[in-house]
Amino acid sequence: MIQITVDNGAGENRDLEVPTDVGLNLMEVLKAYEYDIMATCGGMGLCATCHIEVLKGAENLSPCNDNELDTLDTLPDAGAHSRLACQIRPNVNMDGLAIKLKALQEV
């Protein structure tokens, strides 16, 4: 288990205990914790409804693939620390990750 801190976009933070051995991506984990993420494309990295900003721990994430970069390029508020939660698989190196949900503010 690892701990991830989530800012819901309204300034409310919550610490989540996230298993690293169940094969879920971060979007699926957030949905399991009842965050209202649309996930319109079902985790294919095409819709950006799981857009997050990485506040801490970006260096421990795998790099963006071309598909994720293309999708992020369509967002007017994407920045250097933007990611799609569906493209991130929690692992032991991500303990202490802090993120801010962005898609909820845009939808």
CB atoms within 10 A of CB 44: 13
Tens-digit pLDDT profile for residues 22-64: 899 999 999 999 998 998 998 999 999 999 999 999 999 999 9
Residue type, 56: K
Q: Which CATH class is domain 2-106?
A: alpha beta
Strands 97-101 and 2-7: parallel
d(CA 63, CA 78): 16
- Tell which residue, 94, 74, 81, has the closest CA to residue 25: 94
d(CA 106, CA 10): 12
pTM (2 decimals)?
0.92
Measured in degrees and rounded to the nearest 5, phi and psi for residue 56 equal -155, 135
d(CA 22, CA 66): 25
Give residue 104's pLDDT band: very low, low, confident or very high (50, 70, 90): low
Residue spans of the domains in the chain: they are: 2-106
